[in-house]
Amino acid sequence: MSVAIENFVKTIYQYKAHNGLNTKPSTIAKKLNISSAAATDMAKKLAIKGLLDYEKYQELKLTQSGNTMALKVIRKHRLWEALLFKLLDLSLHEIHREAELLEHETSDFLADKIHEYLGFPDYDPHGDPIPNSKGELPKVKDVITLGEAEVGDYKIARLHSSDKEFFDFCSVNGITNGAQIQVEKQFESMGMTQVKINDTVVVLNKQFTFLIQLIHAK
Protein backbone atom coordinates (compact mmCIF):
# COMPACT_ATOMS: atom_id res chain seq x y z
CA MET A 1 0.00 0.00 0.00
CA SER A 2 1.10 3.59 -0.60
CA VAL A 3 2.30 5.97 2.10
CA ALA A 4 -0.80 8.11 1.54
CA ILE A 5 -3.14 5.19 2.17
CA GLU A 6 -1.26 4.04 5.28
CA ASN A 7 -1.29 7.57 6.72
CA PHE A 8 -5.00 7.93 5.96
CA VAL A 9 -6.09 4.77 7.78
CA LYS A 10 -3.64 5.40 10.62
CA THR A 11 -5.06 8.87 11.20
CA ILE A 12 -8.64 7.57 11.27
CA TYR A 13 -7.65 4.91 13.80
CA GLN A 14 -5.80 7.38 16.04
CA TYR A 15 -8.57 9.95 15.98
CA LYS A 16 -11.21 7.35 16.79
CA ALA A 17 -9.23 5.48 19.43
CA HIS A 18 -7.38 8.22 21.25
CA ASN A 19 -8.23 11.80 20.44
CA GLY A 20 -12.01 11.63 20.61
CA LEU A 21 -12.22 13.67 17.41
CA ASN A 22 -14.66 13.06 14.60
CA THR A 23 -13.35 11.23 11.56
CA LYS A 24 -15.20 13.01 8.79
CA PRO A 25 -13.09 13.56 5.63
CA SER A 26 -12.73 17.28 6.40
CA THR A 27 -11.17 16.51 9.80
CA ILE A 28 -8.76 13.96 8.36
CA ALA A 29 -7.90 16.42 5.58
CA LYS A 30 -6.76 19.06 8.09
CA LYS A 31 -4.50 16.58 9.87
CA LEU A 32 -2.91 15.36 6.63
CA ASN A 33 -2.74 18.84 5.09
CA ILE A 34 -4.80 17.92 2.05
CA SER A 35 -8.06 19.31 0.67
CA SER A 36 -11.42 18.03 1.85
CA ALA A 37 -12.17 16.97 -1.71
CA ALA A 38 -8.96 14.91 -1.84
CA ALA A 39 -9.83 13.27 1.48
CA THR A 40 -13.31 12.41 0.24
CA ASP A 41 -11.88 10.91 -2.95
CA MET A 42 -9.43 8.84 -0.91
CA ALA A 43 -12.22 7.65 1.38
CA LYS A 44 -14.29 6.48 -1.57
CA LYS A 45 -11.32 4.60 -3.05
CA LEU A 46 -10.52 2.92 0.26
CA ALA A 47 -14.17 1.96 0.69
CA ILE A 48 -13.94 0.11 -2.61
CA LYS A 49 -10.80 -1.65 -1.33
CA GLY A 50 -12.71 -2.72 1.78
CA LEU A 51 -10.59 -0.69 4.20
CA LEU A 52 -13.31 1.62 5.48
CA ASP A 53 -17.02 2.36 5.36
CA TYR A 54 -17.97 5.59 3.62
CA GLU A 55 -21.28 7.40 3.78
CA LYS A 56 -21.74 10.99 2.66
CA TYR A 57 -21.59 13.50 5.54
CA GLN A 58 -20.83 10.73 8.04
CA GLU A 59 -17.70 9.87 10.00
CA LEU A 60 -15.32 7.39 8.41
CA LYS A 61 -15.14 3.96 10.06
CA LEU A 62 -12.39 1.45 9.45
CA THR A 63 -13.30 -2.11 8.56
CA GLN A 64 -11.46 -4.99 10.19
CA SER A 65 -8.96 -4.94 7.31
CA GLY A 66 -8.46 -1.19 7.70
CA ASN A 67 -8.01 -1.53 11.44
CA THR A 68 -5.40 -4.27 10.93
CA MET A 69 -3.49 -2.08 8.46
CA ALA A 70 -3.51 0.88 10.84
CA LEU A 71 -2.20 -1.20 13.74
CA LYS A 72 0.60 -2.63 11.57
CA VAL A 73 1.76 0.88 10.70
CA ILE A 74 1.49 2.00 14.32
CA ARG A 75 3.45 -1.08 15.45
CA LYS A 76 6.32 -0.24 13.10
CA HIS A 77 6.26 3.41 14.11
CA ARG A 78 6.49 2.67 17.82
CA LEU A 79 9.13 -0.01 17.40
CA TRP A 80 11.31 2.44 15.47
CA GLU A 81 10.81 5.02 18.21
CA ALA A 82 11.95 2.51 20.83
CA LEU A 83 14.99 1.48 18.78
CA LEU A 84 16.09 5.01 17.94
CA PHE A 85 15.67 6.09 21.55
CA LYS A 86 17.75 3.18 22.78
CA LEU A 87 20.56 3.25 20.22
CA LEU A 88 20.93 6.91 19.29
CA ASP A 89 19.65 8.75 22.37
CA LEU A 90 17.40 10.96 20.24
CA SER A 91 14.78 13.19 21.84
CA LEU A 92 11.15 12.13 22.04
CA HIS A 93 10.29 14.59 19.29
CA GLU A 94 13.15 13.40 17.08
CA ILE A 95 12.24 9.73 17.34
CA HIS A 96 8.65 10.52 16.38
CA ARG A 97 9.73 12.54 13.34
CA GLU A 98 12.08 9.84 12.06
CA ALA A 99 9.65 7.01 12.78
CA GLU A 100 7.04 8.78 10.64
CA LEU A 101 9.36 8.14 7.68
CA LEU A 102 10.67 4.71 8.59
CA GLU A 103 7.30 3.12 9.37
CA HIS A 104 6.39 2.99 5.68
CA GLU A 105 9.65 1.33 4.58
CA THR A 106 9.64 -1.49 7.11
CA SER A 107 8.65 -5.07 6.38
CA ASP A 108 6.76 -7.20 8.89
CA PHE A 109 9.88 -9.39 9.12
CA LEU A 110 12.08 -6.44 10.13
CA ALA A 111 9.48 -5.17 12.61
CA ASP A 112 9.47 -8.59 14.30
CA LYS A 113 13.28 -8.58 14.47
CA ILE A 114 13.34 -5.10 16.01
CA HIS A 115 10.74 -6.18 18.58
CA GLU A 116 12.82 -9.24 19.45
CA TYR A 117 16.04 -7.18 19.69
CA LEU A 118 14.38 -4.76 22.09
CA GLY A 119 13.18 -7.61 24.33
CA PHE A 120 9.51 -7.48 23.28
CA PRO A 121 8.56 -4.19 25.02
CA ASP A 122 4.86 -3.44 25.50
CA TYR A 123 5.30 0.34 25.35
CA ASP A 124 7.36 2.84 23.37
CA PRO A 125 9.38 5.70 24.97
CA HIS A 126 6.30 7.96 25.00
CA GLY A 127 4.36 5.32 26.93
CA ASP A 128 2.19 4.34 23.94
CA PRO A 129 1.28 0.63 23.66
CA ILE A 130 3.04 -1.37 20.92
CA PRO A 131 0.75 -3.78 19.03
CA ASN A 132 2.13 -7.30 18.63
CA SER A 133 2.59 -9.03 15.29
CA LYS A 134 -1.08 -10.08 15.33
CA GLY A 135 -2.25 -6.50 15.77
CA GLU A 136 -3.18 -7.04 19.42
CA LEU A 137 -2.52 -4.27 21.92
CA PRO A 138 -1.07 -5.00 25.36
CA LYS A 139 -3.23 -4.27 28.36
CA VAL A 140 -3.37 -0.51 28.63
CA LYS A 141 -2.33 0.97 31.96
CA ASP A 142 -5.08 2.39 34.13
CA VAL A 143 -4.13 6.04 33.69
CA ILE A 144 -5.50 9.49 34.42
CA THR A 145 -4.38 12.80 32.99
CA LEU A 146 -2.35 15.19 35.11
CA GLY A 147 -5.18 17.70 34.80
CA GLU A 148 -7.58 15.23 36.45
CA ALA A 149 -5.24 14.05 39.22
CA GLU A 150 -5.92 14.69 42.87
CA VAL A 151 -3.14 15.80 45.20
CA GLY A 152 -0.67 12.93 45.70
CA ASP A 153 2.25 10.96 44.33
CA TYR A 154 2.25 9.56 40.79
CA LYS A 155 4.46 8.22 38.05
CA ILE A 156 4.36 9.56 34.50
CA ALA A 157 3.06 6.80 32.21
CA ARG A 158 2.59 8.59 28.90
CA LEU A 159 3.50 11.83 27.12
CA HIS A 160 0.81 12.13 24.47
CA SER A 161 2.09 14.68 21.95
CA SER A 162 4.25 15.07 18.85
CA ASP A 163 4.97 18.78 19.35
CA LYS A 164 8.63 19.79 19.56
CA GLU A 165 8.10 22.62 22.05
CA PHE A 166 6.13 20.29 24.32
CA PHE A 167 9.04 17.85 24.49
CA ASP A 168 11.62 20.65 24.79
CA PHE A 169 9.74 21.95 27.83
CA CYS A 170 9.45 18.45 29.27
CA SER A 171 13.17 17.84 28.83
CA VAL A 172 14.14 21.08 30.57
CA ASN A 173 11.85 20.36 33.51
CA GLY A 174 12.56 16.65 33.99
CA ILE A 175 9.15 15.55 32.75
CA THR A 176 9.97 12.13 31.33
CA ASN A 177 8.11 8.85 30.95
CA GLY A 178 8.55 6.89 34.19
CA ALA A 179 9.51 9.94 36.30
CA GLN A 180 8.04 10.40 39.76
CA ILE A 181 5.79 13.45 40.08
CA GLN A 182 3.94 14.96 43.02
CA VAL A 183 0.71 16.82 42.36
CA GLU A 184 0.62 19.61 44.95
CA LYS A 185 -2.45 21.65 43.96
CA GLN A 186 -5.10 22.00 41.30
CA PHE A 187 -6.08 25.61 40.57
CA GLU A 188 -9.35 24.64 38.92
CA SER A 189 -10.76 28.09 38.21
CA MET A 190 -7.50 29.11 36.52
CA GLY A 191 -6.93 25.78 34.75
CA MET A 192 -3.48 25.39 36.32
CA THR A 193 -1.75 22.51 38.12
CA GLN A 194 1.17 22.82 40.54
CA VAL A 195 3.54 19.85 40.60
CA LYS A 196 6.92 18.96 42.07
CA ILE A 197 9.48 17.00 40.03
CA ASN A 198 12.99 16.34 41.34
CA ASP A 199 12.42 18.90 44.14
CA THR A 200 11.51 21.57 41.59
CA VAL A 201 8.05 23.16 41.63
CA VAL A 202 6.44 23.74 38.22
CA VAL A 203 3.03 25.23 37.39
CA LEU A 204 1.43 23.89 34.19
CA ASN A 205 -1.61 25.06 32.25
CA LYS A 206 -4.64 22.90 31.48
CA GLN A 207 -3.75 22.35 27.82
CA PHE A 208 -0.35 20.99 28.86
CA THR A 209 -1.57 18.80 31.72
CA PHE A 210 -4.01 16.86 29.55
CA LEU A 211 -1.09 15.68 27.40
CA ILE A 212 0.50 13.94 30.42
CA GLN A 213 -0.94 10.69 31.74
CA LEU A 214 -0.18 9.26 35.16
CA ILE A 215 -0.44 6.12 37.24
CA HIS A 216 -0.44 6.07 41.02
CA ALA A 217 3.01 5.67 42.55
CA LYS A 218 3.49 2.42 44.46
Q: What are the tens digits of pLDDT across the range 64-113? A: 999 999 999 999 999 999 999 999 989 999 999 999 999 999 999 999 99
Beta bridge partners of 72: none
- Report the distance separating Cα 9 and Cα 16, nearest Å: 11
Q: Kindly report the length of the chain.
A: 218
- Report the distance separating Cα 133 and Cα 130, nearest Å: 10
Residues in the chain with pLDDT values less than 50 = none
Instruction: Name the residue type at position 4.
Output: A
The answer to whether 25 touches 14, Cβ cutoff 8 Å, is no
pLDDT at 17: 81
DSSP characters over the chain: --HHHHHHHHHHHHIIIII-----HHHHHHHHT--HHHHHHHHHHHHHTTSEE--TTS--EE-HHHHHHHHHHHHHHHHHHHHHHHHH---HHHHHHHHHHHGGG--HHHHHHHHHHTT--SB-TTSPBPP-TTSPPPPPP--EEGGGPPSEEEEEEEE----HHHHHHHHHTT--TT-EEEEEEEETTTTEEEEEETTEEEEEEHHHHTTEEEEE--
The answer to whether 213 touches 146, Cβ cutoff 8 Å, is yes
Angle between helices 64-88 and 92-102 (to 10 degrees): 130
Q: Residue 188 class from Cβ within 10 Å (0-12 exposed, 13-18 middle, 19+ buried)?
A: exposed
pTM: 0.86
pLDDT at 16: 86
pLDDT at 146: 95
pLDDT at 161: 86
pLDDT at 20: 66
pLDDT at 160: 86
pLDDT at 142: 82
